[in-house]
Structure 1
Amino acid sequence: MCELKLNSRRSWFKKVLWTVQSKHDGALIFYHPYKRVFTDANARDPETAAKLATAVEKAYKGACNADIFLHPSVELALEFMMQAGKEIWGYYFVDHKRRVIFWFEDYKSYPLMDGVRGVERKSHIKYALETQYWTHIELFPNKRSLPEDVAMELKELVMYTQADGITSATSLTRFTSDKIASMLSLIDLLKDSTNKECEHSVWIAARFMKDLCSTKFMNFCGQPSARLDVDQSLYGESDASKNMLFRAINVILFGSPDAQSRAFHKILVDQNIVDVRWKQYIDKLNSDWNGYTIFSTVMLAVDISFLAVPSIETQTPATLLSYMSTLCVMGSLIVTLLLVGHVNKSLRGSLTDVVSFLIGMTGSVLGLESFPFMLSLPFGLLIWGIVFFAAALSVVIFRTSDIAIISIAYPTWVAIVILVMWSVLAANRIHVGSLLRRWLRIRYRNTSQFIAYLWNRIIEQVPVTTPSHV
């Protein structure tokens, strides 16, 4: 809201009584029928009523001086605020015909943008103003009716949202299918309340329209760079945060940080999160964490049992590798429990709190990639635990003097290593066959060029002779 500077008092306004209304949630609002003014300030207090009178006169006088034509349906909203220990009155006008709010003076649009960058065109700003318009209707649903065309428009929008969510895996909808079905059932009931003063129906329509308009604004609806898929970034994807440290850690943890990063950045797009996709993402994380807990517990029992074998005590390399395996598995189990017990709580709050929590991690060495790195630790440490245990088991197997055991175990072990490495490389989009074909193609081209170069040099060195004429 803009600030109104009060410098006078009027008594004529106080003579017209304010209408006291009670909202659906029990909050009191005050409505002045003569000037069409809404406020949540206590107009029954004489001093507050005098200040309201001055603020109203100031607002209408400012609009008149700015040559702004005010339609009889235009409303004025006033809010009492404290700023730096000083009493001020915020205000805005509401135009129902254009579904916007406006002021009679220049107003900085940054608070309206809700953190969205790159807003330039008026057609785009219109959705931000319309979002605020529906917020006003939501705050003051009393003394107004629900137009039939608004109810029909709302139904069309929600029906489209439901169809888009059903047919597209990357739908922009912020609601689950169950919520959309509930919304449609409510909207069907609104048709009996159209063109009547039913504040609850007005509030329902305003709440839904606000969310839908906000979604259009955040996705640049009607703009050349409109977001068409929920995981589409409007500002371009950057790997700047993936520094050399992250890339080194990614190799050490078998590509798990990069896989977590790709999944994470499909959820957090342009510092914005869609509720339905975030819940699915968190549910998947919890399922993975439960699995890591089970695997870590099993591996821990295997390592302890392996160390209890009497013959292992005499083999120092196998014992050391088994110790390393145990430590890695314990690390995986501890990190998983910490993620479930502490981080999970921070990720279950409101989307605003979640985004603040994630953005707050950008101050670390890895930047925003700290979160994917943290999520990759249980898997990476568990894999290292398995690798160290496999190495300890290999020491025990290949230190035996039995030729039959070695002749069977060695090729089997080599085949397993090859298959595992093949799977790991393929999962990280590294294909040996493609690399080999590319290498052969380059070698063939270089060899051909070298042969052609030698042939040209040979031709240049051979003297050219011409037959003599008799």
Structure 2
Amino acid sequence: MSKNDLAPVISESISEGTLRPTTSNDTGRYEKTGLVDPDNMQISPGLFIRSRVPEPAYLPLHWSAHIHPEGQPYFCRDGAPRVVTEAYLYRPETLDKVTRWIEKIEQIVTEKSFPISEQVELFIKIEDEDCAYYFVDHATRAQSWLEEIDTYDLGLPPVVSLSQLSIACEELYWTHVEHFPMHFGGLSRETLDSLVCVFTHAICDQMTSRVSTFPYSKQECEAFVSLLKSSRDHVADGNITCTVARLWSLVCRNRYLTHYGQEHSRLSRDQAILYSPETKHTWVSTVASRLSFKTSDRYLAQLDDVFVDHLVYTDQWKSLVTGCLRDWRGASNGAFLGLMLHIFLLALTSSPTLAVASALLFGASLLGATLLIHRYEPMEGTCATQAMEYLESIQSPTFKFQVVALMFALPHALRLWGVLVFSANCIFMLDKYCGTGFAVGITVAVFLAVLLFQWTTSESFNLSIAKLQAKFSRTQDDSYTSLV
């Protein structure tokens, strides 16, 4: 939902436009477009010796200019409430609009008896003749607005309780501080130390659990802890304020997603806690499993595991893509070798039809693996947000990831079908050159060897061996007891 879809909540308007609520995630900060045309300039003698800024631009009383660490200038007005804006106040017409909208908002604040203190800060954004706004409270670390408004109208995600809404609003607060960090004197050392403790616990969680819900790896958390500890003596610096605010925003976002503090919180990455209607199509799973020799089952389990409740963790996504690429490269190598065998056996084959069929299967396996590698190799370094958006786009409302899993399994499955057809062709060649009896004997021996391999590598075989060992151990114990 874009900001243009938001219905204005504040009904009051001045002749030039309308006031509407927004959030710090919907200010369009990184969506601005503009072009500059650099030109040559005359440098007067001693230009930067006399003053850092030779000709300071005019700002009204109580206004000050600041530069974000990323380079974006913004402006702040002292007072109650304090006001911040990215509108370029060095332009008189822009300054005039900002001044008039501040006066209008302060009038509404007075009429509604809206609580204002020195800790409250107002953000405004000029949109042609309209104005977007929100308030933040540095004491409670939350955003608020002048009238009651639905979370949907603000573009906020759904919540299950007021406490979860508080976490979502705290995330908005830290995003605001990240965007405007230079003017209010920095954060307390306790705020930074609390963040160090959060990442320290995350390091332990990542080291002791395979299903940690924290979005960063052990190595990344250690880097964050080192960064924060080295910043303890500079908490008043705006660059450190921006850094700490960004990390707190990420922590709050993760807490919202894991339902931190709620009755049903997410304690492990693979734990689903959101209601989702079941849409099982067992016949599709059965057909895909049989056609792919159960390879699609493995990919389906991996896709479901990496997308629990539509959440994606970077490490799990990278592990999934890396494993798939390794499988597809192995399948393509096997398919290529299968095609090469046809060259040597071309003169010996007794069934051209089977030879063509197996060659086509190997070729299809090689082609499928090549296309999948080409499609997913660039995604190995995709971030979690992009991976989530991609998985959202390919997940079927009806079949979920079953079709995708089958596509992933095709190179391996086609190669195995090619091996089966090629083996059948070899049996016909043995029948032609060595006789029917020899061909049947070799076929039975190979079939029994395959069954033996399947059985000895299955779970049921290991369970049977364990039961026999336990039974033999009990028999020996009974015999020893009888002798005593």
Write out per-residue CA displacement over residues 6-43 of structure 1, whole angstroms, 9 at most, x where no aligned residue.
4179xxxx843531111111111111123411111112
Change (3 A) 1:401 1:292: closer
**1:241–1:368 CA contact under 8 A, matched in 2:** no
2:95 to 41, 49, 53: 49
1:91 to 133, 138, 142: 133
More deviation, 359-368/150-159: 359-368
Partner-residue secondary structure (3-state), 2:231: helix
Q: Share of identical aligned residues, percent?
A: 22
Q: Does 1:228 align with 2:267?
A: yes
State how far apart, in whole Å, the 2-side matches of 1:376 and 1:202 are: 49
> What letter matches 2:209 in structure 1?
S
Counterpart of 1:156 in structure 2 is 197
Aligned ranges 1:304-453 → 2 under 5 Å: 304-306=343-345, 308=346, 310-312=347-349, 315-316=350-351, 319-345=352-378, 348-362=381-395, 366-398=399-431, 402=435, 405-406=438-439, 409-419=442-452, 422=455, 426=458
State how far apart, in whole Å, the 1-side matches of 2:180 and 2:136 are: 12
Q: How far 1:113 moved relative to its partner?
A: 7.0
State how far apart, in whole Å, the 1-side matches of 2:177 and 2:456 are: 57
> What letter matches 1:223 in structure 2?
Q
1:259 to 289, 298, 303: 298
Change (3 A) 1:334 1:129: same
Counterpart of 2:173 in structure 1 is 133
> What letter matches 1:19 in structure 2?
S
Q: How far 1:399 moved relative to its partner?
A: 5.0
Partner-residue secondary structure (3-state), 1:89: strand
Write out per-residue CA displacement over residues 277-308 of structure 1, whole angstroms, 9 at most, x where no aligned residue.
212222222222222221121122123322x2
1:33 to 70, 74, 78: 78
State how far apart, in whole Å, the 2-side matches of 1:114 and 1:271 are: 17
Q: How far 1:62 moved relative to its partner?
A: 2.7
Change (3 A) 1:246 1:58: farther
Change (3 A) 1:46 1:407: closer
**1:364–1:370 CA contact under 8 A, matched in 2:** no
Change (3 A) 1:248 1:95: same
State how far apart, in whole Å, the 2-side matches of 1:246 and 1:415 are: 28
Q: How far 1:393 moved relative to its partner?
A: 1.7
**1:332–1:381 CA contact under 8 A, matched in 2:** yes
State how far apart, in whole Å, the 2-side matches of 1:106 and 1:33 are: 27
State how far apart, in whole Å, the 2-side matches of 1:361 and 1:325 are: 31
State how far apart, in whole Å, the 2-side matches of 1:239 and 1:387 are: 37
More deviation, 266-275/51-60: 51-60
State how far apart, in whole Å, the 1-side matches of 2:359 and 2:278 are: 35
Write out per-residue CA displacement over residues 148-201 of structure 1, whole angstroms, 9 at most, x where no aligned residue.
11011101001011110111000012112221111011111121013x2x0010
Q: How far 1:232 moved relative to its partner?
A: 1.3
Aligned ranges 1:169-318 → 2 under 5 Å: 169-194=210-235, 196=236, 198-235=237-274, 240=279, 242=281, 244-306=283-345, 308=346, 310-312=347-349, 315-316=350-351
> What letter matches 2:203 in structure 1?
Q
**2:328–2:412 CA contact under 8 A, matched in 1:** no
TM-score by length of 2: 0.78
2:150 to 100, 108, 119: 108
State how far apart, in whole Å, the 1-side matches of 2:279 and 2:98 are: 53
Q: How far 1:114 moved relative to its partner?
A: 5.5
State how far apart, in whole Å, the 2-side matches of 1:55 and 1:296 are: 69
Counterpart of 1:75 in structure 2 is 121
**1:347–1:354 CA contact under 8 A, matched in 2:** no
Q: Which runs of 5+ in 2 are unaligned?
A: 17-58, 465-484
**1:359–1:368 CA contact under 8 A, matched in 2:** no
Change (3 A) 1:141 1:242: farther
Change (3 A) 1:294 1:188: same
**1:41–1:48 CA contact under 8 A, matched in 2:** yes
State how far apart, in whole Å, the 2-side matches of 1:364 and 1:123 are: 31
Counterpart of 1:21 in structure 2 is 66
Partner-residue secondary structure (3-state), 1:107: coil
Write out per-residue CA displacement over residues 372-416 of structure 1, whole angstroms, 9 at most, x where no aligned residue.
222111111111111111222223234555588457524422312
**1:37–1:76 CA contact under 8 A, matched in 2:** yes
Q: Which has the larger radius of gyration?
A: 1
Counterpart of 1:442 in structure 2 is none
- CA RMSD in angstroms, aligned pairs only: 2.9
Aligned ranges 1:3-14 → 2 under 5 Å: 6-7=13-14
Q: Which runs of 5+ in 1 are unaligned?
A: 434-470
State how far apart, in whole Å, the 2-side matches of 1:230 and 1:422 are: 34
